[in-house]
Structure 1
Amino acid sequence: MLVLTLTGGVERRGRLPRGGCVVVANHSSHADTAALLAALDARHAPAIGAAADYWFASPWRSRLCSRLAAGFPVRRTGGGLDDLLAMTDHLRAGRAVVLFPEGTRGRDGEVGSFHRGALLLAERAGVPLVPVGIGGTDRLLPKHGRLRHSFVRVQIGAPLPATASPEEARDAVAALTARTKSEPLRDSRTRHRVAAVVVSRWALPLAFVWAFAEALSWPLMPELLLAAVCVAVPRAALKLSLTALAGSLAGSLLALQLATSGAHLPAPLTTPRMHAEVRSELALEGASAIRHQPWNGIPFKVYAAEAGRAGTPASDWLPTAAKARGARTLSVGLLFAAFGLLMRRYRHLYGRYLLLLGSGFATALTLIVTGWS
């Protein structure tokens, strides 16, 4: 469930009926099992039928399949029906048995023909057959491919009688699968426009210049920018955070040199008490006083300017500033990227998120400035 959440999220529609049932689903990826386990309710204690010649061919795969996926072996070459019918008592006890009647992973999103085993099991146990369509796993973990970012949908359909034909079951699963793919995620125009900027050639210069200016005089910290753009495009978080960090350090070095030469740059939204506190810390701790900056609310530019006035060497300032500023900037960028992944299905609310972010930042800034007045 955690992996699916971090790689795009999973959405379930529909519910299993009460009591035991045989779940039949399309199969295009090894991620299908994880998607079903995340979507099906725990009270059914789902057991997943897995190919014996693949998942139970070695001890480590067998342990992985049985312990993590509640898998049981189903032979594909002789004896497979006996393996299925052995689950009859589990179904009568209220469990769900999940099967992929195609027998193997399909290609190109097409649902292949179904074998009869699942229907015979449902008929023997006297339980309904439940069709399920899975969409997005073929992009998340393609056949013979690597894990990617993709939103996954699991659509649970209405139960079919155990007497249904393989063609009827296959058609029901195919219809549900098509439905999972035909509904795009709702998006926000604002997020779409922000994302267009983030993936353009202007994104990194913007992050660098914003952070550079904040280290000199600009009152809005680069973490505000990261909180906006990393939620919109989580995959860009690391490079934007590193670029903002580079801009912040470059700006602080310039601020240090200007202050050393006697220049006084504007410092809006700072207070004399902030400057006095930083001078006191620098007198006691030297350049390492910057370690307090991520936590006390005093802007980075105040530390850079006061360090210059105190004659702090750039060679002492840069490594300590990189450590303190880097921890904060990278943590913020990656944290909001993770939040963006978790909230991907709600990206149509991105405009409201920006309003909350802006009002929250304004409130926090007011409290900080008031507290240091």
Structure 2
Amino acid sequence: MQIFKPLYERAILWARHPRAPALLTGLSFVEAIIFPVMPEVMLAPMCVANPRKSLWFATLSLMGSMAGALVGYALGHYAFEALKPLFAALGMLDGIEAGIDLVKAKMAESPWAVFTFLVLGGFMPIPMKVFTWASGIVGVPMLQYVLSMLIGRGKRVYLLGIAIRLGGARAEAALRRWIEPVGWIATALVVALVGWLIWRAST
């Protein structure tokens, strides 16, 4: 049964829509706060559909993510306790609390240990909101937080944009051919990493 290939074909059609750049920026913003779908799901087809604008699309995604990261931090800092029931209902509470415990552990070492952890975390297929909320709740210093979000998410979107820009038609053909196994592998990685975070927090 194919799931990811039909979604990919639909995403390519959406990627050519005149409002696609605005939708990408909005998706990146909301994903950093609460939305479960990573912006790369839209960024990759947009870059494939128009490789010459790959770096511009990556920049738009990064701008949306950074704005969302600031909002997520503020909400985590000021509103987490009030919103706990909502996260529990959405099935996100365990992941966020696991992230909180990890960020706390790094904060006990030093603010720059948190910076390194968040930079590395930004390259993992873990929802960005886990780190944005956890950082706000723990109170990660703003300098280290903003720099880590900028580098962590920036390297993800720009590496993707550059790879597709350089690959051109070959990148599109390869992505179209391998989208199904890649989609399942990415899904398995996300599930495994979330499970590891929960296990790490409970031990």
- The total of aligned residue pairs comes to 176
Measured after TM superposition, the shift of residue 253 of structure 1 is: 0.5
Is 1:230–1:337's contact at 8 Å kept on the other side of the alignment?
Answer: yes
- Equivalent-residue separation in structure 2 for 1:254 and 1:232 (angstroms): 31
1:217 aligns with 2:72: no
In structure 2, runs of 5+ residues without a counterpart are 1-8, 196-203
Partner in structure 2 of residue 226 of structure 1: 43
Partner in structure 1 of residue 125 of structure 2: 297
Partner in structure 1 of residue 198 of structure 2: none
Measured after TM superposition, the shift of residue 310 of structure 1 is: 0.4
- Equivalent-residue separation in structure 1 for 2:193 and 2:106 (angstroms): 23
Q: Which amino acid aligns with 1:210?
A: L
Partner in structure 2 of residue 331 of structure 1: 159
**Percent of residue pairs bearing the same amino acid type:** 25
Which digits, 9 at most, give the CA deviation of each residue in 1:259-309, with x for residues without a partner? 111233648575726642553244324340211213443221100000010
CA shift in 2, pair 1:207/1:238, >3 Å:
same
Measured after TM superposition, the shift of residue 360 of structure 1 is: 2.7
Q: Whose helix fraction is larger, Structure 1's or Structure 2's?
A: 2
Is 1:226–1:336's contact at 8 Å kept on the other side of the alignment?
Answer: no
How do residues 1-373 of structure 1 correspond to structure 2 at under 5 angstroms? Answer: 193-194=13-14, 196-197=16-17, 200=18, 202-263=19-80, 264=83, 266=87, 272=94, 275-285=97-107, 286=111, 287-288=114-115, 289-343=117-171, 353=176, 356-357=178-179, 360-373=182-195
CA shift in 2, pair 1:279/1:273, >3 Å:
same
Give the TM-score taking structure 1 as reference length: 0.41
Q: Whose strand fraction is larger, Structure 1's or Structure 2's?
A: 1
Q: Which amino acid aligns with 2:102?
A: S
Is 1:252–1:304's contact at 8 Å kept on the other side of the alignment?
Answer: yes
CA shift in 2, pair 1:356/1:194, >3 Å:
farther
Is 2:118–2:152's contact at 8 Å kept on the other side of the alignment?
Answer: yes
Is 1:208–1:247's contact at 8 Å kept on the other side of the alignment?
Answer: yes
CA shift in 2, pair 1:312/1:228, >3 Å:
same
Is 2:25–2:61's contact at 8 Å kept on the other side of the alignment?
Answer: yes
Which digits, 9 at most, give the CA deviation of each residue in 1:20-48, with x for residues without a partner? xxxxxxxxxxxxxxxxxxxxxxxxxxxxx
